Amino acid sequence: MAWSQTKRVLICLLYALPILLVLGSLTPYESSDWRCLDCLLDKTARLYCGIPINTYEENECSRWCAAAFPGHVHRWRKSGCTYRGLACNRSVSCGFAHPVFRISPPAYRNYLETHTAKETERIFAQLDSRDFRAALDAIERSAGSP
pLDDT at 137: 83
- Residue 36 in this model has a pLDDT that exceeds 80: yes
- Answer yes or no: are the C-beta atoms of 109 and 61 closer than 8 Å: yes
Dist. CA 101–CA 33, nearest whole Å: 10
Per-residue pLDDT reduced to its tens digit, 81-123: 998 887 677 788 888 888 888 889 998 898 888 888 888 888 8
* Burial class (CB within 10 angstroms; exposed 0-12, middle 13-18, buried 19+) of 46: middle
Nearest to 129, CA basis, from 42, 32, 43, 37: 37
Burial class (CB in 10 A: 0-12, 13-18, 19+), 112: buried
Asked if residues 94 and 84 have their Cβ atoms less than 8 Å apart, the reply is: no
Q: Which residue has the higher pLDDT, 83 or 13?
A: 83
Q: How much is the pTM?
A: 0.73
- What is residue 83's three-state secondary structure? strand
pLDDT at 144 over 70: no
Confidence class of residue 31 from pLDDT cuts 50, 70 and 90?
very high
pLDDT digits (tens, 9 = 90+) for 47-84: 888 889 999 999 999 999 999 888 889 999 999 899 88
Which is it for strands 76-86 and 51-57: parallel, antiparallel or unpaired? Answer: unpaired
Which pLDDT value is given to residue 62?
A: 95
What ranges do the domains of the chain cover?
2-142
